[in-house]
Amino acid sequence: MSIRKPLLFCLLGLTSLCAMPLAAALGESGGAASKGAVRADLTPEDRARVLAVTAPTGDFTKPEAFEIMQGGAATSMAWPDRDAFSHVSANQDFEGEDRFKLGNALFRKFWVSSPSSTEASDGLGPLYNARSCQSCHLKDGRGRVPEAGEEAVSLFLRLSVPPRTAEERAALADKRQTRIPEPTYGGQLQNFAVPGVRPEGRMVIDYRDEPVTFSDGTTVTLRAPTYSVADLQYGPMAKDVLLSPRLANPMIGLGLVEAIPEEDIRALADPEDADGDGISGRVSEVRDPETGAITLGRFGWKASTPSIKVQSAEAFAGDIGISTPLKTDAFGECSNVQAECRAAPSGIQERLGPVEAPDPVLDLVAFYSRNLAVPARRRVDDTAVLAGKKAFYEAGCAACHQPKFVTSRTAEDPAQRFQLIWPHSDFLLHDMGEGLADHRPVGDASGREWRTQPLWGIGLTETVGGGTYLHDGRARSLEEAILWHGGEAGAARAAYMGMDAETRSTLIEFLESL
C-alpha cells in the first residue's frame, strides 16, 4: 500500500508523521470493530488488532498515529484552499483518475430543457431546483443558505404528509417508501421550471433571535428559523403537510463511509440505552432499490439512503429532473395532477435508451462522488488543538461523533479497502431535541432524530465556501451549531456551556483542525 507524500506534508508542520507506515498502526491487519462486532472480512486475530487501533485515546499530550490522515491512504495532501474538497482519492490508480475526471465533468454539467440541439444534455425538469450537481454542492462542499430576496438553490424544502390509507401505511411499514409525498407538490418544493411550465412556488424563511448566555456571562445569539411556502402555482398544499429544509451535504469521504462494514455501525447502536450513558443511537434500515433487500441506511441527514449510487439517482430525479436506470420517470418531481408539467417534452432519445441519463452516466457520477478525497488534518500537534481534543472527549462529544473506523478488506473499490479513517460519526440516528426537531418522520427516523454528521473537513467549511452548519444552515458558526444540540446531546451541550472561555476556544480550534 503506497501513500503519496508531497512536500506539503512537511509544509503543514507534520514532518514527524511523514514516514509512519499505515500498516504499522494496524499491525499489518485491520478493520473497524466496536463493542464486540463480528466482521466477516476479518480473522479473530485481526479483530483483536482492530479493537486496539480503533479504541478511543486517553492520551491528549500528542497526536495519535496517523491522525493526520483522516481518509487513510486516500487522504488529499493538497494545499487547503477553495478546492480542498475537489481532489481525487490520493491512492487511486491512473485508470481511476480518468474515471474520476469523467465523473467530474458530468457532476459539473449543466442540463438544459428539451428539445435541444445539445444531444444527451437535455431533459432538465420540467420542474427542478438546480441545473447541475455542482450547483448544490458548491466546490463539492455544503450548500449555501439564500440571502434575503435570493432564490434558494442548494437549500431544499422537503414535503410529505402523514399516511392516510392502509396502503400508505403498508408502504411505509415494508419500506417501499420512506415518506408519503404531498399529493400535489410531491416530495420536494421545486422553485424553478423549464419554459412553458410554472414553478411550484418558493420557500420563505423567517428568523427570530434566541440569546444564550454562558455561566461566565458571555452571550451568543442563535437564529431560529421558521419555514413556509409562498406563490404556490398549483393550488393549496394539504393542511397536514410536513415541511423540512435540507442543506446540501459536503461530498468528501463518501466512498470511505460506504466501505465501513455494516457490522461496525450496527455494533454502536444502543436503542434502549443499555449502558446508561444517555446515548441511544439507532440504526436506520432502508430498502435498497437496486437489490430489493433491507439494508443499513447511512447517507443523508436522516440516514435514509443505502448507497452513493442510489443517492446520486435520487438527486438526479428530485433536484434536476433527470431520469436514470434507477429512477426512470423522465418527469422527475412532476406529480400526476400537474398536467402541464407531465405534458412537457422529455429528454429521452430512443437511440440512447429509455432514460435521460443512460449508462454509464450514473456510474461515473457515483464513482466521482465515491472518490472525493478527505483533506489532511492541520495543526494536529498544536497545544491548543490537543487541549480542544481533550475537551471534546471529556464533554462526551465522541460518544456520537465516533472518531475512528477501518474500512472493509472487501470494499468494491480497492482505493477504499482496509483504511484507517477518522470521520467522527457513528452514522446512527439520535434524538437531537426539540430545538432541531422538524417533526417530519423519514423512514426509521422520527421527527426529532438526525444522523450524526461526519466532522472530517468541517474546519475548511468557510474556506471552501459554505459557511453555515446543521441541516438547514441556521448555525453561522461552529459554536452556534454546538448550542443547538439537545436531546441525547444535551449533556455535551451543557458541558460545553460549563467550560471557561479558553477551554471553549480550544474545542473550536480542535474542530477547525478537522
Answer whether residue 492 is part of any domain.
yes
Instruction: State the burial class of residue 316 (Cβ atoms within 10 Å of its Cβ: 0-12, 13-18, 19+).
Output: buried
Quick check: 401 pLDDT over 60?
A: yes
Predicted local confidence at residue 457, as pLDDT: 98
Answer whether residue 105 is part of any domain.
no
Q: pLDDT band at 16, cuts 50/70/90?
A: very low
- Looking at the fold, whether 159 and 222 belong to one and the same domain comes out as yes
Predicted local confidence at residue 152, as pLDDT: 87
Answer whether residue 104 is part of any domain.
no
| HSE of 173, CA atoms in CB hemisphere, 13 A | 7
- Looking at the fold, whether 393 and 457 belong to one and the same domain comes out as yes
* E-only strand ranges, 152-306: 155-160, 192-193, 202-213, 219-230, 242-247, 284-287, 294-297
Residues 403-449 have pLDDT tens digits of 999 999 999 999 999 999 999 999 999 999 999 999 999 999 999 99
Predicted local confidence at residue 48, as pLDDT: 86
Are 271 and 280 in contact by the 8 Å Cβ rule? The answer is yes
Are 75 and 90 in contact by the 8 Å Cβ rule? The answer is yes
Are 407 and 259 in contact by the 8 Å Cβ rule? The answer is yes
- Looking at the fold, whether 344 and 388 belong to one and the same domain comes out as no
Predicted local confidence at residue 7, as pLDDT: 29
DSSP for 295-344, written as a single string:
EEE-BTTTT-B--HHHHHHHHIIIII----SSS--TTTT--TT-HHHHTS
- Looking at the fold, whether 358 and 222 belong to one and the same domain comes out as yes
Using DSSP's 3-state secondary structure scheme, residue 76 falls into strand
Quote the cell numbers at residue 251: 461530498
For the residues 386-404, what does the mean pLDDT come to? 98
- Looking at the fold, whether 398 and 427 belong to one and the same domain comes out as yes
Count CB-CB contacts under 10 A for residue 24. 10
Quick check: 30 pLDDT over 80?
A: no
- Looking at the fold, whether 426 and 500 belong to one and the same domain comes out as yes
Answer whether residue 279 is part of any domain.
no
**DSSP conformation class of 459:** G
Residues 154-174 have pLDDT tens digits of 999 999 999 999 999 999 999
Answer whether residue 287 is part of any domain.
no
- Looking at the fold, whether 315 and 376 belong to one and the same domain comes out as no
**DSSP conformation class of 413:** S
Q: pLDDT band at 481, cuts 50/70/90?
A: very high
Amino acid found at 318 = G
Predicted local confidence at residue 282, as pLDDT: 97
Q: Which helix (H) or strand (E) holds 451?
A: strand 449-451
Indicate the pairing of strand 219-230 with strand 202-213: antiparallel
Domain's final residue, options 346, 363, 380:
363
Q: pLDDT band at 396, cuts 50/70/90?
A: very high
β-bridge partners, 245: 157
Answer whether residue 294 is part of any domain.
no
Q: How far apart are CA 322 and CA 312, in angstroms?
A: 11
Predicted local confidence at residue 14, as pLDDT: 35
- Looking at the fold, whether 76 and 202 belong to one and the same domain comes out as no
- Looking at the fold, whether 337 and 410 belong to one and the same domain comes out as no
- For the chain, the domain total comes to 2
Are 304 and 296 in contact by the 8 Å Cβ rule? The answer is no
Backbone CA torsion sign across 326, 327, 330, 332: negative
Q: How far apart are CA 244 and CA 446, in angstroms?
A: 12
For the residues 375-392, what does the mean pLDDT come to? 98
Predicted local confidence at residue 156, as pLDDT: 94
Residues 197-252 have pLDDT tens digits of 999 999 999 999 999 999 899 999 999 999 999 999 999 999 999 999 999 999 99
Quick check: 63 pLDDT over 70?
A: yes
- Looking at the fold, whether 93 and 133 belong to one and the same domain comes out as no
* E-only strand ranges, 79-146: 127-128
β-bridge partners, 223: 209
Residue 404's domain comprises 8-97+254-272+371-439+446-512
Answer whether residue 3 is part of any domain.
no
Q: pLDDT band at 307, cuts 50/70/90?
A: very high
Q: pLDDT band at 37, cuts 50/70/90?
A: low
Quick check: 32 pLDDT over 80?
A: no
302: nearest Cα among 293, 311, 294: 311
- Looking at the fold, whether 217 and 345 belong to one and the same domain comes out as yes
Answer whether residue 79 is part of any domain.
yes
Domain's final residue, options 323, 341, 363:
363
Using DSSP's 3-state secondary structure scheme, residue 450 falls into strand
Angle at Cα 208 formed by Cα 205 and Cα 209, nearest 5°?
A: 140
Domain's final residue, options 319, 338, 363:
363
Query: In this prediction, what percent of the chain has a pLDDT beyond 90?
Result: 86
For the residues 485-513, what does the mean pLDDT come to? 98
Residues 80-106 have pLDDT tens digits of 999 999 999 999 999 999 999 999 999
β-bridge partners, 159: 243
For the residues 355-378, what does the mean pLDDT come to? 97
- Looking at the fold, whether 258 and 238 belong to one and the same domain comes out as no
Count CB-CB contacts under 10 A for residue 380. 25
Quick check: 12 pLDDT over 70?
A: no
